[in-house]
């Protein structure tokens, strides 16, 4: 399933899909199917235009980010901070060493901030090596070097280093919470990723307080044209499409009970 999901996303992301349609259109024209070739090329151009020159990505991502607003204050008696991986540049660190973050760095920065406010809370980092090769350090392992750099003792850290997907994050975390007798936990992940994560945790019977971070939109985006930042628009569209496909896939396979989990637990 993990390998299939990787291959599917390689082909389904907007820019890859547009390229595949252009290539198919070219082959169709060469084979004598000019009308089909024009249709396929037109679809490719439409996908590129929407991804590059509209606010579609921002609007779709904003819908996800707004689903679980961050609480105005920390809950009482938090015993654990669950941090979902995906924030370290593991491949870069494998060759250059050190600690290198990607755009989701806020997951660990926010966890560090809260960990210093709540010195009794444990920190459960869930994230193994999600690459196809399986030859890099996962986020849970990198966290073992990151937190002590800022004065957080290692005995507060619980590492879950086997997961490669959000479903595995939730399933493996459930066992570790039970093993360590932890409850009343914050779930820290990117705001756009929170609906899928909450859906999975709820379906496994894990009660958590969503604590969103790593916002990518202003929260004020509306449908329209945007010719000022095509590269960023394409990135936002790709992230949004991936997350919505993930929500749909988990809902269809029964891993979550709703396509778009609600704020209130059912």
Q: How confident is the model at residue 266 (pLDDT cuts 50, 70, 90)?
A: low
Mean pLDDT of 47-64: 98
Is 195 part of any domain?
yes
Would residue 228 count as lying in a domain?
no
The whole-number pLDDT of residue 200 equals: 97
The CATH number assigned to the domain holding 99 equals 3.40.50.620
262, part of any domain: no
Please tell me the total count of domains within the chain.
1
The pLDDT tens digits of the residues spanning 211-234 come to: 999 999 999 999 999 999 999 999
Q: Strands (DSSP E) along the chain, which ranges?
A: 80-84, 122-126, 157-160, 185-190, 208-213
For the record, the structure tokens of 108 come out as 């660990």
Question: What is the domain extent for residue 77?
Answer: 73-214
- As a whole-number percent, the residues of the chain with pLDDT over 70 amount to 99
Q: What is the dihedral sign for C-alpha 56, 61, 67, 72?
A: negative
The two tokens of residue 117 are 């406010």
Q: In what order do the strands lie in the sheet with 157-160?
A: 157-160, 122-126, 80-84, 185-190, 208-213
In a domain, 180, yes or no: yes
Q: Tell whether 194 is covered by a domain.
A: yes
Is pLDDT of 263 > 90? no
* Stated pTM of the model: 0.94
Rounded to the nearest 5°, which phi and psi values hold at 122?
Answer: -80, 160
Domain assignment present for 147: yes
Three-state secondary-structure class, residue 187: strand
Q: Is residue 225 part of a domain?
A: no
**pLDDT of 170 above 70:** yes
- Does any domain span residue 176? yes
């Amino acid at each position: 399933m993990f390998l299939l999901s990787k291959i599917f996303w390689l082909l389904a992301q907007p820019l890859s899909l547009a390229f595949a349609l252009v290539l198919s259109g070219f082959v169709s024209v060469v084979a004598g199917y000019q009308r089909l070739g024009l249709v396929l090329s037109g679809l490719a151009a439409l996908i590129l235009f929407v991804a590059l020159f509209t606010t579609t990505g921002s609007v779709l991502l904003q819908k996800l980010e707004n689903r679980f607003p961050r609480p105005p204050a920390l809950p009482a008696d938090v015993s654990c901070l669950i941090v979902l991986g995906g924030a370290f540049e593991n491949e870069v660190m494998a060759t250059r060493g050190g600690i290198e973050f990607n755009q989701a760095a806020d997951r660990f920065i926010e966890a560090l901030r809260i960990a210093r406010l709540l010195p009794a809370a444990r920190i459960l980092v869930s994230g193994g090596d999600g690459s196809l090769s399986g030859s890099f350090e996962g986020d849970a392992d990198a966290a073992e070097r990151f937190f002590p750099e800022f004065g957080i003792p290692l005995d507060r850290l619980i590492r879950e280093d086997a997961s490669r997907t959000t479903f595995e994050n939730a399933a493996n975390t459930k066992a570790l919470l039970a093993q360590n007798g932890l409850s009343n936990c914050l779930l820290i992940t990117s705001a756009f990723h929170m609906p899928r994560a909450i859906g999975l945790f709820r379906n496994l019977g894990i009660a958590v307080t969503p604590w969103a971070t790593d916002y990518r939109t202003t929260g004020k985006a509306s449908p329209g044209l945007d010719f000022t930042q095509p590269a960023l628009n394409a990135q936002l569209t790709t992230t949004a499409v991936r997350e919505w496909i993930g929500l749909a896939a988990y809902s269809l396979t029964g891993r979550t009970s709703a396509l778009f989990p609600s704020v209130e637990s059912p």
